[in-house]
Copies of this chain bind each other. A is one copy, B any other.
Amino acid sequence: MSLEIIKTKLKEAGMKITPQRIAVLQALTGNKHHPTADDLIKTIWKVHSNISAGTVYHILNTLVSKKVIGKIETADNVVRYDPNMEKHHHLYLSDKHEIVDFFDDKLNGIIMDYLTKNNELDNINIEDVKIQIIGKVRKPQTGTSKYDK
């Protein structure tokens, strides 16, 4: 994510543009995976050794509350952050403890259709549906999957 886009995102969220916030977003969007706060702090300190850990936590919370980034809860209960705010789901590779984004608009549609027809949920205003697929890469084919390293 370019510096300009980062600045635009911060402005759109009504947040002041600070070097600390830029550093957090750069560290987060430069990362293909879904880093923890601690991962981000370490990444940031390689370049800006003077940014305080408390500030990183604070910035992450603000970014989540302003919906600039996402926060995900994993099977092993570690808080991770997600730069991608487009609607998507997560595939947990249970053997590798890795999270992969999974985009599928059609699936969203199927589930929403089904749920809105469900009597039990008549009185519920559905805001979001999240799907977590837990699985492993099949062994015999190791090395051929797009999810392999």
Q: Which positions in A face B, CB cutoff 8 Å? A: 71, 73-75, 77, 79, 91, 93-94, 102, 104, 106-107, 110-111, 114-115, 118, 120-138, 141, 144-148
Closest to A93 in B: B124
Cβ distance A51 to chain B, nearest Cβ, rounded Å: 23
Cβ distance A115 to chain B, nearest Cβ, rounded Å: 7
A95 to B33, CA, bound (A): 30
Cβ distance A116 to chain B, nearest Cβ, rounded Å: 11
Partner of A107, one of B74, B79, B114: B114
Copies per complex of this chain = 2
A118 to B131, CA, bound (A): 15
Contact B124 A129 (CB under 8 A): no
Residues from chain B with Cβ under 8 Å of A138 in the complex: 123-125
A29 to B73, CA, bound (A): 24
Known: A77-B79, A79-B77. Contact between A134 and B145, CB under 8 A? no
Cβ distance A38 to chain B, nearest Cβ, rounded Å: 15
Closest to A113 in B: B110
Known: A104-B118, A110-B110, A146-B120. Contact between A126 and B131, CB under 8 A? no
